Structure 1
Amino acid sequence: MEQIRGISSNNLDNLDDVDVTFTKPNTKSLDSVLDEIDAVLEKNAEEFVKGFIQKGGQ
């Protein structure tokens, strides 16, 4: 389990030494998943929705 420490005023002086890098998320794989969902919904949206309807008060 990862230990997380709080930032104290003593640690604030060292923040200039921290290297932070941001990367762009891979949206191509997300787009392909969304395209697949769209294809399923175009073919049989009613059946897809029925799969999420609760039966018997569950």
Structure 2
Amino acid sequence: MAERELKKKASSQRTEDVVVDPAVPADTEKSEKLKAELDDLLDEIDEVLEENAEEFVRNYVQKGGQ
């Protein structure tokens, strides 16, 4: 049988400079807007459940072994 040699590649350690991007505040603004939209959606879902909670639960009750 032929013997196999496993060669390990030397991992090069890289150091990368961290560059502060001036677009970061725009990303923060975008995430805040998205968060506000999500909060509005959750509030709307809460309102629907407050009005129709009984019907909502009835629709999810298992019937006859489903």
User: What is the TM-score with the length of structure 2 in the denominator?
Assistant: 0.49
Give the number of aligned pairs.
49
Q: Provide the identity percentage.
A: 50
Bigger radius of gyration among the two: 2
Distance of aligned partners of 1:9 and 1:34 in 2 relative to their CA distance in 1, 3 Å threshold: same
Counterpart in 2 of 1:9? 11
Report which structure shows greater RCO (CA 8 Å, sep ≥6).
Answer: 1
Query: Normalized against structure 1, the TM-score is what?
Result: 0.54
User: Where in structure 1 are there 5+ consecutive unaligned residues?
Assistant: 1-7
Give unmatched runs, 5+ long, in structure 2: 1-9
Q: Show structure 1 runs of 4+ deviating over 3 A.
A: 21-25
